[in-house]
Amino acid sequence: MSTRPLLNRRLDGLGTTIFAEMSALATATGAINLGQGFPDTDGPESVREAAVRALRDGRGNQYPPGPGVPELRTAVSDHQQRFYGLTVDPDTEVLVTAGATEAIAAAMLALLEPGDEVIAFEPYYDSYVACISMAGAKRVPLTLRAPSFRPDLDELRSKITSRTRLLLLNTPHNPTGTVLTAEESRAIAALAVEHDLLVVTDEVYEHLTFDGARHIPLATLPGMRERTVSVSSAGKTFSFTGWKVGWVTGPRELVSAVRSAKQFLTYVASGPFQYAVAEALRLPDAYFADFRATMLARRDLLANGLERAGFKVFRPAGTYFITTDIRPLGESDGFAFCRTLPERAGVVAIPNAVFYDHREQGAPFVRFAFCKQTAVLEEAASRLKTLGA
Ligand code: PMP
Ligand code: GLN
């Protein structure tokens, strides 16, 4: 056999995702898993029942239409109108995907040429790095620095070159919890318009904002609709991460480009679940308000517990993750800390360093997920308190 490495250079070095590694560690050690972001209770019973009904009624058991079932595309369109006043045509401006993950992959594969530069917030959600690389493009980090984890917009301007094709933005941001303000969003939009950039926005935590922070889709800003591919997913908003129903909205030309790539990735996915998510998107406002309030209470429960345990806590304005600094505990290497945490305290967390190009910049930061039942968070907090003892 040839001595050429089997894994191509585009994927070399990406390893196993940290989420798989840390969830396996949780299973192996029996530790409480506050690593991978998935809720430990399923979403609304009515939505689960809607999936069962679809399955029983034979809706979606065979290949659904390539762009997604019309019921879901219409529901996505209505959701954009209801929450953001955005008008999108369900027939040409909505594309259903296998989670936000496929939407991001298809967008990168469709919109980038080898050598194009993509500016994204660092720490990056791990699939961005892989997808930009698979498209042969180059990622350019705009680092969100502690303690505020806010983007430096002068730095953003300085990073735009003639090769910059696209901004890949995530707000609310995983793992820091940063939610772009109206002012930041306007400034970013103005730069995108000035330099004629495409923008892909990952909005999977759109309904999880706290303390008065408000999610503003960049597509709502002047000059942005025609250049923005907005991505979201049912996983986080409705607590069904295993269903893998996501979607893309945007102008016809961009959605059509993304569809060109998407049709050769999965073609289609999640047939019956698409019908159920269509119902979920039509849940009354009270559902979204209760979901947010429940998660806010959990954020505070875990944040207070982490503070009592000696961590420096960056209380997030969005998402269901808390980034902490472990230096007050006398630690500085998040990787080593997370690898031994199950043994030391029976808890699993994620080292933020994996989300950085310059890993040393993320070394002291560790992420905990709070999308867990109250009793689980209380137990985790009480276990973590033994760390400083
Ligand atoms: N983007 C971000 C920022 C995420 O945290 C996640 C995980 N939910 C995804 C995308 C992937 O979403 P999905 O599970 O719908 O593929
Ligand atoms: N988005 C989830 C997180 O950040 C993980 C999803 C996955 O495992 N790919 O924890």
Span 132-142, average pLDDT: 97
Q: Which atom of ligand 1 is nearest to the CA of 245?
A: 15
The radius of gyration computed from the CA coordinates of the chain, to the nearest angstrom, equals: 21
Measured in angstroms, how far is the CA atom of residue 113 from the centroid of ligand 2?
27
Residues 6+ apart with CB under 8 A from 183: none
Element (H, E) at 323: strand 321-325
CB of 203 sitting under 6 A from ligand 1: no
Residue 104: strand pairing partners: none
Q: Which ligand is nearest to the CA of 233?
A: 1
Share of the chain above pLDDT 70, in %: 100
Q: What is the pLDDT of the chain when averaged over all its residues?
A: 97
Tally Cβ neighbours within 10 Å of residue 86. 17
Distance (angstroms) between ligand 1 centre and the Cα of 315 equals: 21
Average pLDDT over residues 356-379: 97
| Predicted pLDDT of residue 136 | 97
Q: Hey, is 367 helix, strand or coil?
A: strand
**C-beta 37 within 6 A of ligand 2:** yes
pLDDT-based confidence at residue 389 (cuts at 50, 70, 90)? low
For residue range 88-113, what is the model confidence (pLDDT) as tens digits? 999 999 999 999 999 999 999 999 99
15 CB-near residues (< 8 Å, 6+ apart):
none
Among protein residues, the one with the nearest Cα to ligand 2's atom 7 is 19
CA distances from 323 to 21, 116, 205 (A): 19, 31, 16
Q: E strand or H helix at 350, and its extent?
A: strand 350-351
Summarised one tens digit per residue, pLDDT across range 6-56 is 899 899 888 888 999 999 999 999 999 999 999 999 999 999 999 999 999
**What is the model's pLDDT at position 14?**
86
Q: What is the mean pLDDT of residues 191-195?
A: 98
Q: What is the pTM of this model?
A: 0.97
Contact 110, 103 (CB under 8 A): no
Q: Give the residue, by CA position, lying nearest to ligand 1 atom 5.
A: 174
Ligand 1 within 6 A of CB of 101: yes
Per-residue pLDDT reduced to its tens digit, 220-237: 999 999 999 999 999 999
Q: What single-letter DSSP state applies at residue 99?
A: H
Placement of tokens 């996505």 in the chain: 76
Query: What type of residue is 31?
Result: A
Instruction: Verify whether ligand 2 is closer than 6 Å to residue 35 (CB atom).
Output: no
Please indicate whether residue 270, judged by its CB atom, sits closer than 6 Å to ligand 1.
no
Share of the chain above pLDDT 90, in %: 95
pLDDT at residue 89, rounded to an integer: 98
Whether pLDDT at 350 is above 80: yes
The terminus-to-terminus CA distance of the chain in angstroms comes to: 55
Q: What is the pLDDT of residue 238?
A: 98
pLDDT of residue 22: 92
Give pLDDT, residue 253: 98
Q: Is 19 in the pocket of ligand 2 (CB under 6 A)?
A: yes
